[in-house]
Amino acid sequence: MKCVKVPLKKLNDVRKELMEKELMRMDYRIKAERDYGYIPINEDVEGYEIVDIDLEPLNTRPHNFAELLEGELSNEEIEDLRTSFDTIGDVVILEIPDQLESKKKIIGKATLDFTKRKAIYMKKSAVHGTIRIRDLELIAGEDEPITIHKEHGARLKLNVKEVYFSPRLATERKRVSDSVNDGENILDMFCGIGPFPIVIAKNNDVNITGVDINDNAIKYFTENIRLNKVKNVEAICADAREISKSFKSKFDRIIMNLPGLAYDFLDVAMQLIEDDGIINYYEFSNGYEQGAKRLIDAALKENKNVEIINTRKVKSTSPGEWHVAIDAKIKSND
Ligand SMILES: C[S@@+](CC[C@H](N)C(=O)[O-])C[C@H]1O[C@@H](n2cnc3c(N)ncnc32)[C@H](O)[C@@H]1O
């Protein structure tokens, strides 16, 4: 490597001068040894001693994702890809539109270089079926779908191919956790790998039962209970409707995050909720009216009424449609 050799006491001044004149190489580290410093240069510089020595290359990580795809994709296409990233531990899942599928390997390599994660998968389907998983295709890195995701101090282990998990619900989980009171007895009817129960139990002194029909989800939930050393959290693999018949006590809070179908389980939730208990209800909708009506109708059948205490748009699912949250207090009319 061609370098300018300067006495150490002049190193800083010469470095500045060479940088200003754009003669210094920025991809190698300056070396200081005994009484001299060595500054990497692009071309010969007059007035200095030039030597040839080995220097350590610098880690030249591009400043942004766009730099890596410059010339391949338009700025708009790059921005759309970037906002589709879901980073789950060491895994990145992204959505590649049909017209860019021929460039999936270039996009995968750029994502790998930019994010420094281990596996880059593209979505091959929407989330589907009872257990709400999606098909994935590896486009760069190693095919390693098992990872540990960190969220609000919790460590969540999962296999992205076998279970549902969305990092985009992190704020929602924190919000629900912050609204919980110590001493609550909580049921998460569709708990997946247990992100709601784990985050809540790490921050509150409560009892939580999590139910999921996917045995892989319950396998990871059980592991996550151990990993996070949380107490009074129970994982049950079952259909929420079936298992509800065996519960001996009622719950102060029921979490219902199965947004496509939660309404179908509202009759069960209304029977299991304590008087003045809270249902954290989720659904896909363009607003809150439909959800509120479903809650009210289900409550009426149990001679109960509903006070809507909070509503939120959790995330956008398609233009005009949202994953919405409704927090409802359920009171008995008796
Ligand atoms: C949208 S995911 C939510 C998982 C979790 N609450 C989270 O936030 O990551 C819905 C979960 O409901 C589970 N599920 C679907 N039908 C069920 C049923 N009848 N009883 C229990 N779990 C069910 C699926 O396996 C899936 O893990």
Contacts of 293 (CB under 8 A, 6+ apart): none
Q: What average pLDDT score do residues 40-58 get?
A: 88
Question: What sign does the CA torsion over 158, 164, 168, 171 have?
Answer: negative
- Ligand 1 within 6 A of 220 CB? no
Which amino acid makes up residue 180?
Answer: V
Choice among 58-62, 195-199, 217-221 with the minimum mean pLDDT: 58-62
What's phi and psi for 76, nearest 5 deg?
Answer: -65, -40
Determine contact, residues 155/162, Cβ cutoff 8 Å.
no
pLDDT digits (tens, 9 = 90+) for 249-267: 999 999 999 999 999 999 9
CA distance 173 to 14: 54
Q: What average pLDDT score do residues 46-60 get?
A: 85
Residue 284 domain-assigned (yes or no) = yes
Q: What is the pLDDT of residue 25?
A: 87
Q: Judging by DSSP bridges, how do beta strands 119-123 and 91-94 pair with one another? A: parallel
- The pTM (predicted TM-score) of the whole model is 0.82
One domain for residues 98 and 235: no
Containing domain of residue 104, as a range? 65-144
Q: What is the pLDDT of residue 22?
A: 79
Calculate how far, in angstroms, residue 114's C-alpha sits from the geometric centre of ligand 1: 32
Q: For the chain, first and last CA: distance in Å?
A: 86
Q: What average pLDDT score do residues 295-308 get?
A: 98
> Looking at ligand 1, which residue's alpha carbon is closest to its atom 12?
190
Residue 234 domain-assigned (yes or no) = yes
CA distance 57 to 11: 19
One domain for residues 74 and 43: no
Residue 20 region by backbone torsions, left for phi larger than 0, else alpha for psi between -120 and 50, else beta: alpha
Contacts of 132 (CB under 8 A, 6+ apart): 164, 192, 258
Q: What is the pLDDT of residue 238?
A: 98
Q: What average pLDDT score do residues 290-294 get?
A: 98
Q: Ligand 1, from 168, 187, 246, 258: best to mutate by most atoms within 8 Å of Cβ?
A: 258
One domain for residues 264 and 307: yes
Read off the CATH number of the domain in which 282 is found.
3.40.50.150
Q: What is the pLDDT of residue 243?
A: 98
One domain for residues 184 and 315: yes
Q: What is the pLDDT of residue 62?
A: 58
One domain for residues 197 and 308: yes
> Looking at ligand 1, which residue's alpha carbon is closest to its atom 19?
239
Determine contact, residues 328/279, Cβ cutoff 8 Å.
yes
- Ligand 1 within 6 A of 276 CB? no
One domain for residues 138 and 209: no
Residue 268, classed as helix, strand or coil, is helix
Q: What is the number of domains present in the chain? A: 3
Read off the CATH number of the domain in which 13 is found.
3.30.70.2580
Percent of the chain at pLDDT exceeding 90: 79
Calculate how far, in angstroms, residue 257's C-alpha sits from the geometric centre of ligand 1: 7
Q: What is the pLDDT of residue 98?
A: 92
One domain for residues 39 and 79: no
Residue 267 domain-assigned (yes or no) = yes
Tell me which of 52, 74, 94 is where a domain ends: 52
User: In which band, very low, low, confident or very high, does the pLDDT at 61 lie, cut at 50, 70 and 90?
Assistant: low
Q: Ligand 1, from 134, 168, 190: best to mutate by most atoms within 8 Å of Cβ?
A: 190
One domain for residues 28 and 91: no
Whether residue 63 has pLDDT greater than 80: no
Which has the higher per-residue pLDDT, 198 or 47?
198
Q: What is the pLDDT of residue 273?
A: 98
- Ligand 1 within 6 A of 187 CB? no
| Residue 121: other Cβ atoms inside 10 A | 25
Which of ligand 1's atoms lies nearest the C-alpha of 259? 1
One domain for residues 230 and 252: yes
Determine contact, residues 172/150, Cβ cutoff 8 Å.
no
Q: What average pLDDT score do residues 186-204 get?
A: 98
One domain for residues 287 and 317: yes
> Looking at ligand 1, which residue's alpha carbon is closest to its atom 9?
165
Q: What is the pLDDT of residue 17?
A: 86
